[in-house]
Structure 1
Amino acid sequence: MKKIIHLIAAARPNFMKIAPLYHALSLETWAIPVIVHTGQHYDENMFASFFKDLNLPKPHISLGIGSGTHAEQTGRVMIAYEKTLMEARPDLVVVVGDVNSTVACTLAAVKLGIKVAHLEAGLRSGDRSMPEEINRVITDAVADYLWTPSPDGDENLLREGISAKKITRVGNIMIDSLVMMTPAIREEKEAKKKGLPPGKYGVVTLHRPSNVDDESKLMALADTLKRVSEKIPMVFPVHPRTENKLKEYCIWDQLINTPNMTFLEPLSYKSFMSLVFDCRLVITDSGGLQEETSFLRIPCFTLRPNTERPVTVIEGTNILTTADRLLDDISNINAKAINVNKKIHLWDGRAAERVVKNIKCLLDIRLASTEGSLG
């Protein structure tokens, strides 16, 4: 009897994480992967393009939750997903990342006695002011199976008292998507379309509330970016939240007239990563880009005081910085030892294979003892 496996996604990074696993499970005769989109973040045009890029079908289940406060989103997802689970129980629920839907679907499932696996478990920034950190801690505390991307994930979970039997290191699933998409990304040639010389420009992304919601901090970042552009041309695909704040604080008009800065609307994954592939450096506050640039061996300057991905700093190309230090850090880039030949262990594009193998093992164990249901 085939096993139904729910893959939970709420935002664009989630789809990046479930895509390789969906494709790997689709090749298995015993599995029926079901994409559940909570609708926490949704734009029909954007997602149509995203699904096409990742070769994903439309979500099999759409909860249509929409925006709201953290409590509103979490509560609505729990209520809606619980109804889905009560109508038809899957054999396993796989949650990814650290958004509100991740913890909400985990709680809904475990309260009904349905097994939950957390893909990208064990990440910790140590900063409880980040809503994502709360989501990570709670999800890992109650999920049944924890799939980690790197040794620090294992160590964090063990330190929190979680049994080693629950933990399996599978590697970084985001790198699977990047490897899977590389041929299509290279075909985009986005730098050439924009008239940018390969290896001689930088890419900027900013969206975190801690950076863009504070007027003085955003003004300082804008001033620093203008000065960076005097040294190297910058390309800035502007997140809607960031653009709204730049306009609200009357920074937008002066910033868009900055020489050597090219402003773009949000890009598809393929187009954006095409820019990254050919750039000299990245300035960001994103989580995923810290991983992708480390895999690509491209210097990444992360505008955050901490990171839940410390392996990107220790073994990758990531540098934590601030608006005050950014210019100096960029100036010192050639003095920093970045081993372009070094690869982070298990960041090899085969994490989905290891996850599928682990699921099969778990199912086989359950089949031997309880006649076939993980639930």
Structure 2
Amino acid sequence: MKVVSVVGARPQLVKLAPIAAAFARTEHEHVIVHTGQHYDVNLSDVFFSGLGIPDPAVHLGVGSGGHGAQTGRILEAMDPVLAAENPDWVLVYGDTNSTLAGAVSAVKQHIRVAHLEAGLRSFNRRMPEEHNRVLTDHAADLLLAPTEEALRHLATEGLADRAVLTGDVMVDVCLSIRDAILAGERPAVELPEGVDPAEPYLLATLHRAENTDDPARLATLVAALADLPIPVVLLAHPRLLARAEAQGLKLAQGALRVGPPVGYAAMVATVLGSVGVVTDSGGLQKEAYLLGRPCTTLRSETEWLETLDGDWNRLVPDPALLGPGEWVATATRPAPGTPLGTPFGDGRAAERVVEILGRRLG
């Protein structure tokens, strides 16, 4: 069996790591195509080296751009690659422009498509990620659902016959990295200047268009983070830096301590060292849950409803609308006493994915 994995953004590279390792333990041929959607070294190359992922066989180098232009460039570059490779499966990951373009290129060439992390829904049609994941699910031949909730979404849309529950491959890599850090097998976390790792701090990220493109919205969120009573380590995505600069907004103010994006192991270590997370990232919500840290999500919805159980995650669309002191109490709340469940699987999802691809091909 020959499988082409199409990736291009940080979350996809993390998901690729356990998949690549699972393929390496078999006789199957696994070809990695990197679209270059995230071309910054801190968002791409560092993940290949830090997670032990084999170098991509093909790098399309499409770079940034508007959604239509970027998706079109990926699609144009992908067509001859898939025609030359002629795989049994094209495996696409998550909800980015690379996901959609990889799926469309494959189906137009009558190549089977499997969608890893299928069935996630925010039901927010303003999110470009929502369009990508819905369109990809309806185009794909095989839907690899990470949770029971994702399976229910697919069934509601009439896709149950293509869907199978695998568990979440993010669990595979997150827990293995966590165990290595706790065993002292990974370097200690490096925090921005002014943050003492022995003292309480929060980890924050902001990158979604809905939070960064509107100057008033971004200024409100930055001010809310800056007003918190403990240091806030803001790992600044290139989108955030570009928007802040264009809007003349200073990020390093108040409690905020700004640092660059970090590799996945360093991100896990930073979460483990924190007392909580504030984010608009889907992946980081789940990582906070897996690592036992309370999360405050700066959105009105989440794809990971399971993280809301037991108050491990709270949705706060607008901190300015909370009562006096309520925002501070929410963002700095301690971890709840409720036990963590295992809604995302047992840590063997990648092995299961490779097995299912082989079985469905047969």
Query: Normalised by the size of structure 2, how large is the TM-score?
Result: 0.91
Moved over 6 A (4+): 333-337
Structure-2 change in CA distance of 1:315 and 1:20 (3 Å)? farther
Aligned to 1:7: 5
Structure 1 CA distance for aligned equivalents of residues 331 and 74 of structure 2: 44
Aligned partner (choices 289, 298, 311) of residue 294 of structure 1 = 289
Equivalent pair of 1:24/1:356 in contact (CA under 8 Å): yes
2:212 matches 1:212: yes
Structure 2 CA distance for aligned equivalents of residues 49 and 131 of structure 1: 26
Equivalent pair of 2:275/2:334 in contact (CA under 8 Å): no
Aligned partner (choices 251, 258, 274) of residue 279 of structure 1 = 274
| Greater mean deviation of Cα atoms: 92-101 or 309-318 | 309-318
Deviation of the 1:241 alpha carbon:
2.1
Deviation of the 1:197 alpha carbon:
4.0
Deviation of the 1:23 alpha carbon:
0.5
Aligned to 2:264: 269
Deviation of the 1:56 alpha carbon:
1.1
The residue type paired with residue 256 of structure 1 is: A
Structure 2 CA distance for aligned equivalents of residues 64 and 191 of structure 1: 30
Equivalent pair of 1:295/1:347 in contact (CA under 8 Å): no
| Greater mean deviation of Cα atoms: 234-243 or 313-322 | 313-322
Which structure 2 residues correspond to residues 147-226 of structure 1 after superposition, within 5 A? 147-162=144-159, 164-186=160-182, 187-190=186-189, 196-198=196-198, 200-226=200-226
Deviation of the 1:68 alpha carbon:
2.1
What percent of counterpart residues are identical? 38
Structure 1 CA distance for aligned equivalents of residues 41 and 236 of structure 2: 19
Deviation of the 1:130 alpha carbon:
0.8
Equivalent pair of 1:184/1:270 in contact (CA under 8 Å): no
Cα-to-partner distance string for 1:24-76 (whole Å, 9 max, x where unaligned): 011012x1111111112213465332211110121011222222221122222
Structure 2 CA distance for aligned equivalents of residues 44 and 335 of structure 1: 34
Mark the runs of 5 or more structure 1 residues left unpaired by the alignment.
367-375
Aligned to 1:369: none
Aligned partner (choices 221, 233, 238) of residue 231 of structure 2 = 233
Structure 1 CA distance for aligned equivalents of residues 147 and 243 of structure 2: 35
Aligned to 2:109: 112
Q: What is the number of equivalent residue pairs in this alignment?
A: 355
Deviation of the 1:280 alpha carbon:
0.5
Deviation of the 1:131 alpha carbon:
0.9
Calculate the aligned-residue CA RMSD, in Å: 2.3
| Greater mean deviation of Cα atoms: 176-185 or 219-228 | 176-185
DSSP 3-state at the match of 2:320: coil
Cα-to-partner distance string for 1:224-272 (whole Å, 9 max, x where unaligned): 11211xx2221112222212322333331xx5242x4322122222222
Aligned partner (choices 294, 299, 302) of residue 307 of structure 1 = 302
Structure-2 change in CA distance of 1:282 and 1:123 (3 Å)? same
Query: Normalised by the size of structure 1, how large is the TM-score?
Result: 0.88
2:99 matches 1:102: yes
Deviation of the 1:18 alpha carbon:
1.2
Structure 2 CA distance for aligned equivalents of residues 344 and 324 of structure 1: 34
Equivalent pair of 2:192/2:258 in contact (CA under 8 Å): no
Equivalent pair of 1:5/1:92 in contact (CA under 8 Å): yes
Structure-2 change in CA distance of 1:292 and 1:46 (3 Å)? closer
DSSP 3-state at the match of 1:256: coil
Structure-2 change in CA distance of 1:347 and 1:316 (3 Å)? farther
DSSP 3-state at the match of 1:141: helix
The residue type paired with residue 187 of structure 2 is: E
Structure 2 CA distance for aligned equivalents of residues 172 and 157 of structure 1: 16
Largest Rg, 1 or 2? 1
The residue type paired with residue 77 of structure 1 is: I
Structure-2 change in CA distance of 1:332 and 1:84 (3 Å)? closer
Equivalent pair of 1:170/1:346 in contact (CA under 8 Å): no
Equivalent pair of 2:171/2:344 in contact (CA under 8 Å): no
Structure-2 change in CA distance of 1:93 and 1:165 (3 Å)? same
